[in-house]
Structure formats: C-alpha cells, structure tokens
A and B are shown apart, each in its own frame.
Chain A
Amino acid sequence: MDTPFESSSLSIARDSLEDRASRMDGYPSSSLVNSNSPWLYQSYAALPSPISSLQYLEDASTFLNMSLYSRSLLNPPLDGTITIPETIEFHWKHNADLPAYAFHEEGKDTNDITEITYLEFGRASHRVANFMNDKFPSVTGRPVVAVVALTDSLLYQAISVGLMKSGFIVRAPPYLNHELTSISLPFSHFPFLQEILRGPLSIFL
C-alpha cells in the first residue's frame, strides 16, 4: 500500500505532502489507513511529524487547508494574556469569517453544512451577557449562577462564555461517571438529573 506517511522521519518530503493533499481533495481518504494496525489511533500514528519551518507551513497551508477551510486561523496567545471570554474579541479581529462550529440540519442538501463563524458565536456570547445584565441588573461581585438546562450544546456553550463575560461564575450540574462509562446504552443528557434529584440542594447550598 502506498502510504508515504508511514515514514517516521522528521522532515517529510514536500512532494509527498502535496501528493497526499491532492489525493485527499478536501476529505480524508481511507487509503491512508493501514488496515493491519488497530483501528484506533492508527491514522494518527501515521501522521507526518510536525513541520518545523514556518515557510514550509505557509506553503503547506495553501493546499492543505483544503476545501473545508478558506484560509488558516490566527491562533490566540496561550500565555495567559487572554481568557476564554476574551478570545471572542481576538477572533473577531483575526478570524471572524472562519467556522468555530459546524452542523448539518435535517432535510438540507448534503453539501449544505451550516457553519457558525467566530463572528456569530462571539455575538451570541455578547447577547447572553446583555441578557444576564437585563435579568439580574442589581448583582454585585461575581455571583455564581447554576445552569441546569436541557438545551442544545451550541447554545449552552454560548451561555457559558456569555456568563464568564458578564462576570458570573458558571455552575455546571453534576454528571455521574458511571453513566458515562459503565452502561452500554447510549448516554443522554438526562443522567445528571437523577443526581440532582437525589440531592437537589447540593448545587445551591
């Protein structure tokens, strides 16, 4: 099987990367997977080693970001100068048009994937912060707010960031470990309710 990326060398021949990119054409190809190795992690282990040259990275980004993405993101600093709620404005400045989330709605055309850009997600979090300001106008300090809600992940995460923005401390509900690991049935959003029901007050007092 022709898999140039089984090479463990740090420097990867550029043409093999290009070759790979052209074969993938915007979507990972199963031909990259070595069917003899265990399926878990196998393609990860076969990845090219990190690329050291910046110039090379730039070249690579022109063809490797592929059809999923129009261009590279600018990464926010990881040195602690900005926090989660502050990444919003960073992304507005540098990555506003790029997708933070993607989903596909029922009944839509196969290629019609909805993307939530950093612009839109950031605005969503600002709207949550404004909402909290309106609902709890007189709060001082940094109150804790429990979010015990059955809602979509996208909205839940916008709420989390919005609360952090407006100075609230988010209180997430409990979620029992055994619900995640031991049962062989699909886990749901609901197990945490059982725990709360067992001790409804534990998240407040």
Chain B
Amino acid sequence: MRVSCHHLLTTRTTLKDLLDAMKTELETISSSYELAIEEVPSLHDIFPKLGVETEGDPFTPFKTNYKPKPDEIAIYVHSSGSTGLPKAIPYEHQTLLHLTSICKSFDMIFLELKRLNPPPAPTIIFRDHIPRLRMAAMHLPPFHTLGIFAQLILPLFGCTTVAVYPPVVGSRELLPTLPTPDNVLDHVQRTKSNALMSIPTFLQLWRQDQKAIDILSTLQFVVRLDPVSFDQ
C-alpha cells in the first residue's frame, strides 16, 4: 500500500546519513516533491517535569474540535516482512482498540489455560489480572505493532503500568538505550516489574541461562510475542 506522506518528524543529528540519502534520492526522482522536515520535540519540551509533574505545573491544553472516529486511520504500521517486503498496514482506531482483547498471540496462552483450568470467564487479559501488573516491555520497538501494543494499548486501554527504559535522549546527539537481553533483565528487576513481554530471540537466550531463569521465575508470567503473528 502506497501512502502519500509529505511530513517528517525525525532526529536530524543521529539520522543525518539516512536523511541525506533520502533527500538525494527524492531529488533524483522528483525535484518538486514537497517534504516538510521537523526535528522531534525534545524530551524536556514534552516532559518538563519528568516523573514529578503535578496538577499545579504549567500546562496549556491542546484545543481542537476534531474528534477521531473509530473507523478512521490512526496509524500506518509495517508488516514484519514475513511475506516479502514490509507493507504499510493501516490501523483504524477500532483496530487498535481490538488489540486490547483480540490478539492472536495469546490464543496459545488461553489454550494452555483451558487445558489446565475450566475456560476463564470473559475478562480482559492483563487488565483484570490480580495482582495488578507492572509489565516490562522496555525493549520492544516503539513503532512496531509489538511496541504499539505493549507500550500504548496496554497502558491506555489495558490499564497496565508498563516498564520502559529511562529516557536518555536529553540532547540531539544522544541515542536511546540499545536493548540487550541483559539490560532487559536488569530493568525488569530495577522497575520491580512482575510480568514481562518478550520475543522468541530473547526467550531462547534466557532459557539457556540459569540466572535469567531465576529472575524470570519470580514473575507472574512471561508472554512470548511472536512478531510474525502480528502481521495481518
């Protein structure tokens, strides 16, 4: 699916080479292609009181008459490319909402449960879990469906606190934390998370490591997210 896009939010310093290549190629194809490029707002602009903001702190609400409709497109994500090149997939607002309860990857968990227990009463997975969850999902890429599900849908519709890496991009030349199997476990413990979502690659590494298993076995559960099953 081709999507016409003339606006770009980016990090110019850390992605300089990429942007230069992009501009060069745009010019060779179409010298009149309009592209408005803006630097992403800084962490300080968006979270001026990081972690301690209260009602009384200065704030100007965004005012608009625009009300999103459920069948409007909210975001284009990319398929994981399991069937060739990654494709842009339009997600409507209602699709995002449905991720709360309909999630193919969790079928197997439910199957497990059914085998061991009577079928569970209709509940929203994770949201209605007792005790409440602090879900570690710091290493999932924020722009991939996995990240959108874990870091956006879970806290906003799923009412689950999500543990992330501490923000470190305080100025333009800095890069975000590079996820590693070790620093995930470190942050699981440091944030006192009681559940974890991860991907097969990491799980395979952890299951060969007794120290990792010891840490993971203190959790309520570990969710295996298969990126391919999120391709629609």
Contacts and interface: CB of A to CB of B under 8 A. Distances in A.
B11 interface: yes
Contacts of A159: 9, 40-41, 46
A187 to B, nearest CB: 7
Nearest to A67: B192
Interface in A1-53: 8, 10, 17, 21, 24, 27-30, 33, 35, 39-45, 47-52
Interface residues of A, number: 131
B153 to A, nearest CB: 8
B8 A68 contact: no
Contacts of A47: 129, 220-221
Q: Is the interface of A mostly helix, strand, loop or mixed?
A: mixed
Contacts of A153: 138, 140, 142, 147, 151, 164-165, 176
B82 to A, nearest CB: 5
A101 B155 CA distance: 7
Given A156-B142, A196-B18, A189 B78 contact: no
Interface residues of B, number: 140
Nearest to A172: B143
Interface in B172-208: 175-181, 187, 190-194, 199-205, 207
Among A85, A123, A126, find the residue whose CB has the most chain B CB atoms closer than 10 A.
A123
Contact of B176 (A69, A120, A152): A152
Given A115-B51, A144-B5, A186-B181, A101 B70 contact: no
Interface string B207-222: 1000001101111111
Given A119-B55, A164-B74, A188-B179, A201 B194 contact: no
Nearest to A126: B62
Given A124-B46, A160-B75, A130 B201 contact: no
A39 B47 contact: no
A78 B3 CA distance: 29
A101 B201 contact: no
B175 A150 contact: yes
Contact of A180 (B29, B67, B201): B201
Given A41-B221, A47-B220, A188-B178, A149 B15 contact: yes
A201 B33 CA distance: 11
Interface in A149-192: 149-162, 164-178, 180-184, 186-189, 192
Interface of A: 8, 10, 17, 21, 24, 27-30, 33, 35, 39-45, 47-52, 60-61, 64-66, 68-69, 72-73, 75-76, 78, 80, 83-88, 91, 95-96, 98-106, 110, 113-117, 119-121, 123-124, 126-131, 133, 135-136, 139, 142-162, 164-178, 180-184, 186-189, 192-193, 195-197, 200-201, 203-205
- The 7 tightest CB contacts between A and B, nearest first, are A177-B80, A44-B221, A114-B51, A104-B190, A129-B62, A172-B143, A152-B167
Given A44-B221, A117-B53, 10 more contacts: A33-B218, A39-B222, A75-B159, A104-B187, A104-B191, A150-B14, A155-B43, A156-B143, A159-B9, A174-B86
